[in-house]
């Protein structure tokens, strides 16, 4: 594959414009009644926000890691361990390989490293694109937590990857210290989570994918921090980022969903780079009638962001959910419940007559595939997820392959799994991932298991350090030998002591 630089730039510009237009055309089709009513109520009860953009600017400019609470720094390192692991594993998937070929064909001055199985150097924003897309490719990256029932759990953002991919690429290009890299990551993470929590739920319910849209601000904030931008320049960075924000949910179950995370990282760097060069944006990027909050979400609850950036940091309160399975987080408590039934009652595949998954619209709508034909569809297909646990009693990176999904036992079992809307579960709100699993056996026995609000990987049942290291090692083993994995973990956990982040990059490449 070979193209000229001129052709590449023309294609890149066309792609950027197409994605921006696609994001703005999302409509309300497919909303649940509750989602639509929540959206309408939100849009009606608030005037356009004022002053929020300036607060975000001030936070980015003034944040200093030596003033961050120790638990914020330590949780940040944990998210980096998880994030780097899923980037390495995700780099092996076909979609990630296609993105790398696109990056390679573009040429340009190599400034940062695309990590994974076939590491290479690329222009800083394209390295971020590739690493960001790899980080979300397996849908194994962390999830922002909901704070109230109207903020649907799992439908806010995957906060680590856009900030990580942007901060890593810019920090490597600049030769920044590990501490500066970690600081920029934590700043981007906080900005992303607070914006996602504040914007009306209409943003996601109407079809925008927050990791792509709001992740752009995360990447922009991280890049701006590393570039040491003055507040006036940060203002332009934020407004440029607002116009580059994109990503719609129709792409769930395809290679484009992880591309959203990559584009968020890329767009954030482009916004910050343009602003540093004197490029301007118009007015407050988040506020007013034409700002991001109003245009993309119908408004925002200002109290969820105004005066609370870093007070406390979202990474510790409410915290973040680390995924135990490489698929949509909304399915995880249901998967744990199914696994418990299978193990506790020693259920064999040939004993099963029918399985029912009862849940609300917050789970059933995003996990929309009734049967899966590919591993990408399988990540959003409850019948497959239940089937994998019945057949193998696990659902890890080795179960999410096209070969396993298409296998005869899987295809035969999936039609036995039925998903049912449960009004009683719906009425309890969307801040938790609630469901009930019912299994009927051919011999007449039936078993029922409700999901546990204390799900694995969440703040109430967090991964131990050993479990987090095990997940990283499992992911990294797809591209790194055992001795390199141990060294990589040491570098990540001691990142704030590194004189140059390039040492970390070398340990991962």
Q: Residue 159 contacts by C-beta under 8 Å, 6 or more apart in sequence?
A: 79, 142, 143, 144, 189, 192, 193, 196, 215, 218, 314, 315, 320
pLDDT at 329: 83
- Name the strand (E) or helix (H) holding 503: helix 502-508
pLDDT at 8: 31
The pLDDT score that the predictor gives to residue 88 is 97
pLDDT under 50: residue ranges of the chain: 1-44
The domains of the chain are located at 5-321, 329-450
Q: What backbone torsions phi and psi does residue 495 show, to the nearest 5 degrees? A: -60, -35
The pLDDT of residue 153 is 67
Q: CA torsion angle for 282, 305, 157, 232 (degrees, to 10)?
A: 30
Classify domain 5-321 by CATH architecture: Orthogonal Bundle (1.10)
144 SS3 class? strand
* CATH C-level class of 329-450: alpha beta
Count the Cβ atoms, other than its own, within 10 Å of residue 340. Answer: 16
449 and 437 Cβ atoms separated by less than 8 Å:
yes
Element (H, E) at 24: helix 5-24
Enter the pTM of the model. 0.85
236 close to 280: Cβ distance less than 8 angstroms: yes
CA atoms within 13 A on the CB side of 162: 38
- What is the C-alpha separation between 470 and 504, in angstroms, rounded? 19
pLDDT at 86: 97
Q: Which phi and psi angles does 507 have, rounded to 5°?
A: -75, -20
Q: Is the peptide bond before 312 cis (omega within 30 degrees of 0)?
A: yes
Q: What is the pLDDT of residue 45?
A: 52
Between the two ends of the chain, the Cα-to-Cα distance in Å is 24
CB-count burial class (<10 Å; 0-12, 13-18, 19+) for 368: middle
171 vs 482: CA distance, rounded Å: 27
CA trace torsion 219, 150, 326, 383 (10° rounding): -150
Tell me the residue ranges of DSSP E strands in 296-434.
320-321, 352-359, 417-421
């Amino acid at each position: 594959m070979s193209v000229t630089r001129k052709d590449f730039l023309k294609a890149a510009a066309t792609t950027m414009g197409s994605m921006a237009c696609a994001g703005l055309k999302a409509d309300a089709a497919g909303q649940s009644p509750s989602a639509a009513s929540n959206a309408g109520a939100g849009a009606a009860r608030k005037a356009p926000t004022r002053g929020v953009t300036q607060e975000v600017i001030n936070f980015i400019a003034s944040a200093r890691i030596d003033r961050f609470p120790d638990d914020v720094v330590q949780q940040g390192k944990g998210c980096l361990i998880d994030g780097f692991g899923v980037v390495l594993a995700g780099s092996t998937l076909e979609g990630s390989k296609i993105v790398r070929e696109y990056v390679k064909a573009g040429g340009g001055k190599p400034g940062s490293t695309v990590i994974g199985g076939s590491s290479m150097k690329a222009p800083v924003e394209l390295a971020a694109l590739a690493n960001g897309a790899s980080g979300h490719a397996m849908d194994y990256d962390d999830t922002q937590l909901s704070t109230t029932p109207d903020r649907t759990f799992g439908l806010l953002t995957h906060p680590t990857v856009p900030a990580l991919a942007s901060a890593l690429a810019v920090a490597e290009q600049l030769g920044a210290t590990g501490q500066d890299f970690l600081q920029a990551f934590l700043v981007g993470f906080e900005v992303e989570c607070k914006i996602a929590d504040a914007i009306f739920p209409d943003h996601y319910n109407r079809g925008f994918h927050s990791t792509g849209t709001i992740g752009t601000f995360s990447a922009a904030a991280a890049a701006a921090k590393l570039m040491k931008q003055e507040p006036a320049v940060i203002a332009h960075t934020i407004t440029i980022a607002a116009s580059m924000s994109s990503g719609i949910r129709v792409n769930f179950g395809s290679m484009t969903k992880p591309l959203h995370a990559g584009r968020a990282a890329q767009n954030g760097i482009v916004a910050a780079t343009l602003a540093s060069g004197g490029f301007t944006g118009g007015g407050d990027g988040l506020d007013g009638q034409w700002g991001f909050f109003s245009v993309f979400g119908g408004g925002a609850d200002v109290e969820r962001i105004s005066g609370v950036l870093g007070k406390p940091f979202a990474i510790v309160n409410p915290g973040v959910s680390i995924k135990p399975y490489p698929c949509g987080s909304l399915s995880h408590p249901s998967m744990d419940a199914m696994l418990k039934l299978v193990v506790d009652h020693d259920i064999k595949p040939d004993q099963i007559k029918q399985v029912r998954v009862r849940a609300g619209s917050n789970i059933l709508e995003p996990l929309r595939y009734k049967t899966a034909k590919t591993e990408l569809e399988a990540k959003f297909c409850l019948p497959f997820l239940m089937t994998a646990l019945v057949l193998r009693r696990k659902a890890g990176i080795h179960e999410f392959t096209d070969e396993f999904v298409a296998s005869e036992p899987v295809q035969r079992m999936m039609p036995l799994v039925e998903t049912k809307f449960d009004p009683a579960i719906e009425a309890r709100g969307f801040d938790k991932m609630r469901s009930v699993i019912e299994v009927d056996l051919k011999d007449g026995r039936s078993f029922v298991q409700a999901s546990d609000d204390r799900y694995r990987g969440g703040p109430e049942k967090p991964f131990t350090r050993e479990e987090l290291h095990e997940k990283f090692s499992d992911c990294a083993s797809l591209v790194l030998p055992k001795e390199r994995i141990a060294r990589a973990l040491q570098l990540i956990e001691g990142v704030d002591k590194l004189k140059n982040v390039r040492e970390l990059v070398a340990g991962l490449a």
